[in-house]
Amino acid sequence: MDLTNLETVPGKTIVRHLGLVQGSTVRSKHVGRDFMAGLKNFVGGELKGYTDLLNESRTEAIDRMVAQARAAGGNAVVNVRFSTSNIAAGAAEVMAYGTAVEVR
Amino acid sequence: MELLFQFGLFAVLLLIGWSIGGVTERRHFRSLVEREAALRDILVFNERRPPADRDFRRAELVMGSVVIGEDYFKRFAATLRSLFGGTLRMYESLMDRGRREALVRLKEAARRQGATMVFNVRFETSSLSADTGQRGIFSAEFIAYGTALTPR
């Protein structure tokens, strides 16, 4: 599965457009992470636990998007975009969307 | 007595934030400068179209992300500064750190793929302060993503 955020897949030709596909996940931090981040907050800097958490979420969102693309008969997703939103205290939604295509 | 204790705690936290936070920030900027220099050969563009006259072997989505939080001192200083308005330098440096870190991680990801260029690079920032809102501490996630191209 080729993923790009361009309009094409360089080196390949798009033979069919299959429409918008998307994947998302909502995750919350677990208490341990939140506690550590709470301590870290006094001194600032990178909150590694959150970085990892959001990266895991993004990987999951991409996987779901890819699964949709595959179900639609595509072998690539172009024009991929990400968006993150806070939907409740302690929970974030991470979303990935793009256009499923068939390339050759 | 209790008031004294509270004030003491506040002063200690402020001092910890100022000293450790300051050291962390300076160290982070030094490390950024080093890594940026080492990754200078990876070219990043925010153009949507790669050059048509070049042939690419591989195109892959890459990204870099980081969550950065403010320290206690920054928060206090920003609250104070907000009374008068104007430039919040303590946050400017925080945003700068986050964005540069995300870009450096994007370039590192591109290098792991053996790519030499990244096209259509986008930045996105989202505040996570709704999460930690109870304590009023601000943290934000910075992401940079783009399409890494490996020449044939």
Sheet with B43-44: strands ordered across: A43-46, B56-71, B139-151, B117-127, B43-44
| Mean pLDDT rounded to a whole number for chain A | 88
What pLDDT band is residue B135 in, cutting at 50, 70 and 90?
low
Q: Which of B131, B142, B143, B145 to mutate to test the interface with A (most CBs of A within 10 A)?
A: B131
Q: Where are the domains of chain A?
A: 2-27+58-103
Angle, CA B36 vertex, CA B70 and CA B110 arms, to 5°: 100
For chain A (104 residues), the mean pLDDT of every run of 10, in chain order, is 92 93 87 64 82 92 97 95 82 92 95
Give mean pLDDT, residues B2-16: 88
Measure in Å the smallest separation between the Cα of B65 and chain A Cα atoms.
Answer: 7
What average pLDDT does the structure give for chain B? 89
ipTM: 0.87
What domains does chain B contain, in order, with CATH numbers?
A: 2-151 (3.30.110.70)
Cβ pair A89:B143 closer than 8 A? no
- CATH code of A2-27+58-103, in short, is 3.30.110.70
Q: Please check whether residue A11 touches B, CB under 8 A.
A: yes
Cα(B63)–Cα(B102) distance, integer angstroms = 8
Distance from CA of A46 to the nearest CA of B (A): 4
pLDDT, one tens digit per residue, over B13-71 is 889 889 988 999 999 999 999 999 999 999 999 998 888 888 888 899 999 999 998 88
B8 vs A28, higher pLDDT? B8
Which residues of A fall within a CB distance of 8 Å from B130?
86, 88-89
Task: Provide the shortest C-alpha distance from residue B21 to chain A (in Å).
Answer: 5
Q: Which of residues 19-48 of A touch B (CB under 8 A)?
A: 29, 37-38, 40-48
